[in-house]
Amino acid sequence: MSKPLKIGLVGTGSIAHAHLPAFKQFPGRVQITAVCDIRQQAADRFAELAGTDVVFTDFERMLKEADIDAVDICTVHNQHRHQVIAAAEAGKHILLEKPMGITLDECREMLKATDAAGITYMIAQCLRYLPNSQWVRQRIIEGEFGDIWALRSDNFASMVPPKSKIDTDKSTGPGIWYLDGKQAGGGALISQSTHHIDLFRYYIGDISRVTATSWTDHPFFINGAEESIAATMEFENGAVAQVLSSWASRTPWNHHYWLLGELGSVTSRLMPGSSPAEQYIGPLDVSLPRFDDDKSSRAFVPLDIADTDLPTHLPFVNEILHFADCCQSGAEPLSSGTDNLGTMKAVLGIYESAKTGQPVSLADI
C-alpha cells in the first residue's frame, strides 16, 4: 500500500471542519501535516484537531517549508487564484473548494499553471461524491429515466434581515464575505447554486446557453453580489434547467432539485429542520413508473442506496480519498479543474446574462 498523502490545509473555517473526518477516519490514506490560516488562533485550534503542530499564517511559507505533497484550499473565493498558482508552481497537488474562481480569466490562468506543473488539480464539487448522485448518474447512463428533458434547482436562504427591518443609517451590515462580490464573486448563485449546476453537468453533460435575471436592492449585498437570481440553462442534449437562488428568501435554508426524464424522475427530499449539510446530502425520492402496473405509476419511493463503489456515505470523505487516489495514480479526477471550467462558464455566463439582459452562448466566453 502507498504511503498516506501529506496535505497542507489552508483556510480553517467552516468547510475545513467538514473535510476533517476524512483525515480522522483514513489516516493510512491522507494526513494533514501542516495547517495555515491568516487567523493564528483559528489555525492553532484546527491544527490541534487535525493532530499536527505545524502551523503557518502565510500560505507561501507553508508551501516552502512544510513537508507536504498536496494542499487542500478552503479559503475565500478571491484567494483561490493566487493560492492555486503558487501551489502549482511549488509542484503540489491541489484540492480546491468550489467555486474554482471568480472570473473565467482567473480559471483559465489556474488551468494553465496546473497543466504546466503536471500536478493533480481537483475541484471539491462534493455532490459528485455522494452515493445518491453516483446512483442516479448510473441509472441515467443505463437509460432507466429515459431522455432527461428538464431539471430544476432551488437554493434559498434567509441570510439577511428584511430591508424594511434595518436602520441603514446605523447598520454597517453583517460583514460576511459571502455577501461581498469582491471576495465571493457574486452572491447566492456562485456560492450555493454552483453545486447543483455542477451536479446537473455530471448527470447530463454540458450547457450551451444561459439566460438570467437578477435582483439586488438590499444594502447588505455589496460590490455586485446578487441577492436573488433566476436563470434558464439549455444543455447540449436538448434538456433545459431552471435555477432559482435567493439569499433573501424568507425560508429556512434550502437546497432542492428535480430531474425529469421521459420514464422517471428524481427529487431531493426536503427535511424540515435539517442543517444545510444534511440538506445537501439528504435523501432522494425516485419515481420510476412501471406502466404495466397502474398503482405504482405515480409513486415516489425513497431511494434505496444501492451499490456504488464509494467508500463511505459522506461526500467530503469520499472526495478527499478520491483526490488522494488520483494524486497517487495520476488518474484524472472526476471533478478535475479541466472539467470544472464548464461549470464556471455556466455560473459566470449566468452573471453575464443578468448584467446584459441577453442570452449568453457558453462557446463564446
Ligand X SMILES: NC(=O)c1ccc[n+]([C@@H]2O[C@H](COP(=O)([O-])OP(=O)(O)OC[C@H]3O[C@@H](n4cnc5c(N)ncnc54)[C@H](O)[C@@H]3O)[C@@H](O)[C@H]2O)c1
Residues that bind ligand X (CB under 6 A): 10-15, 36-39, 42, 59, 74-77, 79, 97-98, 124, 126, 191, 280
CB of 97 vs ligand X, minimal distance in Å: 4
Residue facing ligand X at closest CB distance: 13
Q: Which CB sits closer to ligand X, 180 or 209? A: 180
Handedness of CA 76, 194, 15, 60 (dihedral sign): negative
3-class SS string, 52-67: CCCEECCHHHHHHHCC
CB of 73 vs ligand X, minimal distance in Å: 8
CB of 176 vs ligand X, minimal distance in Å: 8
For residue 67, report the phi and psi dihedrals to the nearest 5 degrees. -90, 85
Q: Which CB sits closer to ligand X, 12 or 31? A: 12
Nine cell digits for residue 314: 459522506
Contact 341, 202 (CB under 8 A): no
* 3-state secondary structure at position 99: coil
Alpha-carbon span 160 to 249, nearest angstrom: 9
Contact 339, 199 (CB under 8 A): no
Nine cell digits for residue 316: 467530503
Contact 112, 89 (CB under 8 A): no
CB of 11 vs ligand X, minimal distance in Å: 3
Nearest Cα residue to 308 out of 132, 144, 140? 132
Q: Which CB sits closer to ligand X, 81 or 209? A: 81
Count CB atoms within 10 A of the CB of residue 25.
16
Handedness of CA 305, 309, 312, 317 (dihedral sign): negative
CB of 47 vs ligand X, minimal distance in Å: 13
Handedness of CA 45, 15, 21, 1 (dihedral sign): negative
Q: Which CB sits closer to ligand X, 42 or 230? A: 42
Q: Quick one: DSSP state of residue 275?
A: -
Q: Which CB sits closer to ligand X, 130 or 260? A: 130
CB of 2 vs ligand X, minimal distance in Å: 26
CB of 277 vs ligand X, minimal distance in Å: 7
Q: Which CB sits closer to ligand X, 229 or 260? A: 229
Q: Which CB sits closer to ligand X, 3 or 17? A: 17
